[in-house]
Structure 1
Amino acid sequence: MLSDPAVRALVTKGLVGLEKETLRVTPDGRVALTPHPPVLGSALTHPHITTDFSEALVELVTPALSDPQAVLDFLGDLHLFVYQHIGDERLWAGSMPCVIHGGAEIPLAQYGRSNAAQMKTVYRRGLGNRYGRVMQIIAGVHFNFSLPEAFWEQTQADFFGGVSAGFASDSAAVLGARNLGYMGMVRNLQRLGWMVPYLFGASPAVCKSFVQDANADLEAFDTNTLYSPFATSLRMGDIGYQNRQEEGTGLKANYDNLDAYTRSLTWAIRTPCPHYEPLGVKVNGRWEQLNDHVLQIENEYYSTVRPKQLTDWMEFPTLALRRRGIRYVELRSVDVNLFDPLGIELEQMHFLSLFMLYCLLLPSPTISPRERRWIDANEVLAAHRGREPGLMLQRADGQIALRDWGQQVLSAMEPLAVLIDGGIGGELSAALKAQQFKMTEPDATPSARVLAEMRTRGEGFAEFAGRLTEQHRDRLKQRELAPASLALFQRLADESRQRQAQIEAADDCDFDTFLARYFAQTEAQPVTLRSPFAAALAPSEELT
């Protein structure tokens, strides 16, 4: 496929974007109890600065661009703008929070007076009731990747094996190829997903205050820190925010194709779950969860990777996928890089782009139930014991050492890197070489570096992460935001507040009716909630 120079050129025009979560904390490392600063704009409608589960969990969203450095530059400007408006608070350096005294002190995110805003907060209250609030403030970096539409136009025959698929139109054939290709990528990212925590995991230790389960298989690093000696990413392990909803609910998303995927999630948001019925839905006049179904909404299903499509006003994400296909793929398993002020660096972005492209081009059969168990087990093993000498993983041809498998995959990626770079010694090849070194030298991984530095300095996790938080803050505050960037963010903040006011003014029913209308939408019946925006405006990411 890539022997065609025209196709190869299109691959270099692929888009990448980042969503970086970061916890606002007090100078002593506690979760900030202050509201999301209004001067940053409306968390409901701002395209780049919002909140996740908590008022304190800031989410910074870049545009999708073809230049990874431009993405990082934008993310850096977002950090500078936020730091200008949070006083003496800090942006915590790592994925795992610290100094927590129970979930009750973690404030739910608030989005205003509208029904849409109330829905977001009720959804979060439901998450807290179902899984506990502490788990919800773990931070991560989501890496978004897509290829230009012209790529799918040029390569549709390759994805269909050179056989006409009998589509009614060329556009339908392109859409079919795009969905087929991206779902294959998603499956391979799951098969090889254990590589991400090994290479980039940066959470091998946690505060004791975070761990609620006294039976957690962790050792004491010091009086206030728990760790696992060979862990890479406890965030991605058993103590992190995993698919707890699978326990007793029978839910497992089906990734065979886009139709199977959307149907499996649709079943989950339509099906009552006895496990969540005791929580109640509307209790003494307050909504405790959106419903008592297996999932309140699709986004509740945690996965390391998701196929995504932008949504229209209050449109189900699954319906957006069914109507317009997959627009991009979101890799969600990347820890916040403690050693970088932005939480991710350029070399990492180059490798992740190459890795996702490799997973697109690799053959991708459907995942059997047996392989699904292997995938889940490999992920947890790599997260908790990834640097353990001789650690074995499971694949179809039997057990294999993690490092042997990793070296095989990285070696297989070499020709692709050279091809995209246009020769030996390019950026992708250099990024790949750095990961090959980590695979042979586990001490070079971020997780090993975290533990080594903690030991050398005699620091527990709180002291270590707190020190890096201060260093990153000082480094960022030494920079000045360019006047053009400052003006852009001030304008976006003003516009976001205006859009929030539009949404609040457009409400024409009570919240109970709003929810009923929202959940009544089907593929044939669009949502019957009037959009507060002009039809000419482009769709935005789902509000939930």
Structure 2
Amino acid sequence: MKTKEFSKTMVEEVSLELLLRHAVKAKHGLEKESMRVNPNGTLADTPHPDHLGSSLTNHYIKTDFAEPQLEYATHPRPRIEANIRELQDLHIYTIRKLNNELIWPFSMPPVLPEDENEIPLGQYGSSHSGKWKTIYRNGLGLRYGRRMQTISGVHYNFSFSNVFLKQFLQKEISKFTKEEISSLYLHVIRNFLRRVQYLTYLTGSSSVFDSTFLPNPGSLKFERHKKYTMYSPYATSLRMSEIGYTSKVQDTLGIHYNSLKEYVERMCYAVHTPNPDYIPFSEKADNQLNPNYLQIENEFYSPIRPKQVPKGDERPLDALLQRGIEYIEIRSLDIDPYSPVGVCRQNLAFTQLILLDSLLSISPSIDEEENSILKENLNKVIWEGRRPDLTIRVEDSEKNFQQAGAEYSESLRYYAKMLDRHTGRQTYQEAIDFQIKKWKNPDKTPSGKLLSEILKKDIEFRDKGMELARENRRTLSYLEYSPGTLTKIEKEATRSFHEKEQLEREESQTHYPTVKLCNH
């Protein structure tokens, strides 16, 4: 029997073998964004297809920032494979409804218009909530640029099962407190931030992009291939870099994960405090929701976020304060270009192992010094992760990154064996074997493989994208739905239109609610 130490809110000893028996019952959910494109690789200029339902109210298929930017969502499920199968069904349905359009296979966007204001914002109808969503997106475009917002990714939602929490906290489910559960998830989040650079190397696939995404790179150094392709030779995930989903403004907010109270207080400050640089955007009505540092909580960019499902018109921060953290959202995964649905089973299983290890390891608070080190480590890996001599800070010393990553991956082997024993499959050990190959050879990472293919074949990024998009369409067109899935998707599309129409008839004037529990 193994024991580990935990924070004060957690048990000091636990039967690891018994605990891992219940770890396989965790819940997984996926959200995946993808661009619709024309046969020539440009953004689709058509509205969100009616066959896919209402982008405002459909639970399975919505749109993200741009009108052609699809967003898929799966149900929380106890098996990763079930989530991938549901995502596959949604892709099959979409492919059969798109006519000549295709689904772009990369996180970095396809060919973009010269004027970024021609990138169409998501449109959600005439209801107040529909207009509100479009105004929010317009604000994002003003603050960060519309090009940046066209970058797509995968969000992996994860929660421990109640039976697991019962074993871990050694008390009945009815006696769980929101403080205990929230402390547990924040414990995981802090340790995940200490490990996210490994996941970025292993899953990053955005080292290369079309020049229309960044017409003026400024002081950033990229190499050019042929006429339209730009790349950074050793990069892993430019999606997570300063040209992607990071913000120097947000970095000044001091939003950390040492306690739920501290996190919510800083988020409340961000959603209620005007940023002088954003105030001019509000001179024109409906340019943005407000001039605050964050228009709403979802504007905050982070590799991982604590979540609670809001009820009715409840704000996410109120939901967190009222009921604590329900699950965590991992936001650091690029679209896998070598999967027809953009996700990889081995990568998701490995991510779960990281989360489990993050729970079963000591997780002290992160101070400003460590926070700076973690950001520097991640930034190094984002830009130079495949450089053989790259070093990062690990426990107060410099260490070769690929050696550190290989050692960390192998350290998860015990957990993988135990989980596989209880599932009767080899999912988790295969996931580790899959990642070890990448540590031995950086060219086997998605970022390395994609860049190598483009350079060796002497083709453009946009052409490689269309090649994969057509290949994925062929693959998906031959696949069959899971039993009962087609009827379910069609019913949801119909239901979503009825709900949207009802909202528009009611023409509710209720504005997005203020955060009731914040002291501001």
Q: Which residue of 1 aligns with 2:76?
A: 64
Q: Which residue of 2 aligns with 1:166?
A: none
Which of residues 126, 134, 150 in structure 1 aligns to 2:163? 150
Q: Relative to structure 1, is the Cα distance of residues 56 and 244 closer, same or farther in structure 2, using a 3 angstrom cutoff?
A: farther
Q: Which residue of 2 aligns with 1:523?
A: 517
Instruction: Report if the CA contact (8 A) 1:10-1:147 is conserved.
Output: no
Whole-angstrom CA distance in 1 between matches of 2:458 and 2:518: 61
Whole-angstrom CA distance in 2 between matches of 1:481 and 1:8: 33
1:499: Cα distance to partner?
A: 1.5
1:130 aligns with 2:132: no
Tell me which moved more, 352-361 or 422-431. 422-431
**SS, match of residue 287 in structure 1:** coil
Q: Which residue of 1 aligns with 2:330?
A: 331
Q: Deviations for 1:177-213, whole angstroms, at most 9, x for unmatched residues?
A: 2111110111111111111220011111111111143
**SS, match of residue 220 in structure 1:** strand
Whole-angstrom CA distance in 1 between matches of 2:209 and 2:472: 20
Whole-angstrom CA distance in 1 between matches of 2:416 and 2:140: 41
Q: Which residue of 2 aligns with 1:265?
A: 267
* TM-score, normalised by the number of residues in structure 1: 0.89
Whole-angstrom CA distance in 2 between matches of 1:236 and 1:521: 29
Q: Deviations for 1:82-107, whole angstroms, at most 9, x for unmatched residues?
A: 11222111100100012112311211
Which of residues 45, 51, 59 in structure 2 aligns to 1:47? 59
Which of residues 218, 223, 227 in structure 2 aligns to 1:214? 218
Q: Which residue of 1 aligns with 2:98?
A: 86
1:254 aligns with 2:235: no
After superposition, residues 292-441 of structure 1 pair within 5 angstroms as 292-422=291-421, 426-441=426-441
1:233 aligns with 2:237: yes
Instruction: Report if the CA contact (8 A) 1:142-1:331 is conserved.
Output: yes
Q: Which residue of 1 aligns with 2:49?
A: 37
Instruction: Report if the CA contact (8 A) 2:21-2:418 is conserved.
Output: no
**SS, match of residue 55 in structure 1:** coil
**SS, match of residue 343 in structure 2:** coil
Q: Relative to structure 1, is the Cα distance of residues 82 and 268 closer, same or farther in structure 2, using a 3 angstrom cutoff?
A: same
1:189 aligns with 2:192: yes
Whole-angstrom CA distance in 2 between matches of 1:451 and 1:131: 27
Whole-angstrom CA distance in 2 between matches of 1:150 and 1:339: 36
1:55: Cα distance to partner?
A: 0.8
Aligned length: 504
Q: Deviations for 1:490-544, whole angstroms, at most 9, x for unmatched residues?
A: 10111111111232233343xxxx33xx34340299xxxxxxxxxxxxxxxxxxx
Whole-angstrom CA distance in 2 between matches of 1:524 and 1:142: 27
One-letter amino acid of the structure 2 residue matched with residue 192 of structure 1: R
Q: Which residue of 2 aligns with 1:291?
A: 290
Instruction: Report if the CA contact (8 A) 2:234-2:385 is conserved.
Output: yes
One-letter amino acid of the structure 2 residue matched with residue 107 of structure 1: P
**SS, match of residue 21 in structure 1:** strand
Q: Which residue of 2 aligns with 1:175?
A: 178
Which of residues 116, 131, 136 in structure 1 aligns to 2:129? 116
**SS, match of residue 24 in structure 1:** strand
Q: Relative to structure 1, is the Cα distance of residues 2 and 498 closer, same or farther in structure 2, using a 3 angstrom cutoff?
A: farther
1:425: Cα distance to partner?
A: 8.2
Q: Structure 1 stretches of 5 or more lacking a match? A: 159-168, 526-544
Whole-angstrom CA distance in 2 between matches of 1:72 and 1:425: 17
Q: Which residue of 2 aligns with 1:538?
A: none
One-letter amino acid of the structure 2 residue matched with residue 462 of structure 1: R
One-letter amino acid of the structure 2 residue matched with residue 443 of structure 1: D
Whole-angstrom CA distance in 2 between matches of 1:17 and 1:508: 31
Whole-angstrom CA distance in 2 between matches of 1:223 and 1:34: 28
One-letter amino acid of the structure 1 residue matched with residue 106 of structure 2: G
1:198 aligns with 2:197: no
Instruction: Report if the CA contact (8 A) 1:95-1:140 is conserved.
Output: yes
One-letter amino acid of the structure 1 residue matched with residue 107 of structure 2: S
Report sequence identity in percent.
Answer: 34
Instruction: Report if the CA contact (8 A) 1:2-1:8 is conserved.
Output: no
Q: Deviations for 1:152-178, whole angstroms, at most 9, x for unmatched residues?
A: 2222259xxxxxxxxxx9746443221
**SS, match of residue 19 in structure 1:** strand
1:316: Cα distance to partner?
A: 1.2
1:434: Cα distance to partner?
A: 1.5
Q: Deviations for 1:207-235, whole angstroms, at most 9, x for unmatched residues?
A: 11111433222111222111111111111
Q: Which residue of 2 aligns with 1:478?
A: 478
Tell me which moved more, 388-397 or 377-386. 388-397
Q: Which residue of 2 aligns with 1:444?
A: 444
1:7: Cα distance to partner?
A: 3.0
Instruction: Report if the CA contact (8 A) 1:391-1:401 is conserved.
Output: yes
Q: Which residue of 2 aligns with 1:528?
A: none
Whole-angstrom CA distance in 2 between matches of 1:93 and 1:464: 9
Whole-angstrom CA distance in 2 between matches of 1:216 and 1:467: 29
Which of residues 279, 282, 294 in structure 1 aligns to 2:281? 279
Tell me which moved more, 238-247 or 182-191. 238-247
Q: Relative to structure 1, is the Cα distance of residues 503 and 374 closer, same or farther in structure 2, using a 3 angstrom cutoff?
A: same
Instruction: Report if the CA contact (8 A) 2:104-2:110 is conserved.
Output: no
Tell me which moved more, 405-414 or 25-34. 405-414
Whole-angstrom CA distance in 2 between matches of 1:361 and 1:68: 21
Q: Relative to structure 1, is the Cα distance of residues 152 and 482 closer, same or farther in structure 2, using a 3 angstrom cutoff?
A: closer
1:314: Cα distance to partner?
A: 2.2
One-letter amino acid of the structure 2 residue matched with residue 523 of structure 1: L
1:129: Cα distance to partner?
A: 0.7
Whole-angstrom CA distance in 1 between matches of 2:234 and 2:385: 6
Q: Relative to structure 1, is the Cα distance of residues 486 and 426 closer, same or farther in structure 2, using a 3 angstrom cutoff?
A: closer
Whole-angstrom CA distance in 2 between matches of 1:190 and 1:505: 45
**SS, match of residue 86 in structure 2:** helix
After superposition, residues 481-520 of structure 1 pair within 5 angstroms as 481=481, 484-509=484-509, 514-515=510-511, 518-520=512-514
Q: Deviations for 1:129-163, whole angstroms, at most 9, x for unmatched residues?
A: 111100001010111111112222222259xxxxx
Q: Relative to structure 1, is the Cα distance of residues 170 and 24 closer, same or farther in structure 2, using a 3 angstrom cutoff?
A: closer
Instruction: Report if the CA contact (8 A) 1:7-1:151 is conserved.
Output: yes
1:260: Cα distance to partner?
A: 1.1
One-letter amino acid of the structure 2 residue matched with residue 488 of structure 1: K
Q: Relative to structure 1, is the Cα distance of residues 482 and 66 closer, same or farther in structure 2, using a 3 angstrom cutoff?
A: closer
1:28 aligns with 2:40: yes
Instruction: Report if the CA contact (8 A) 1:98-1:462 is conserved.
Output: yes
Whole-angstrom CA distance in 1 between matches of 2:394 and 2:318: 34
One-letter amino acid of the structure 2 residue matched with residue 347 of structure 1: Q
Q: Deviations for 1:353-406, whole angstroms, at most 9, x for unmatched residues?
A: 112111122211111111111111111211111010110112441222211221
Q: Relative to structure 1, is the Cα distance of residues 67 and 268 closer, same or farther in structure 2, using a 3 angstrom cutoff?
A: same
Whole-angstrom CA distance in 2 between matches of 1:418 and 1:520: 47
**SS, match of residue 422 in structure 1:** helix
Q: Deviations for 1:457-494, whole angstroms, at most 9, x for unmatched residues?
A: 11121111221111111111222445722111110111
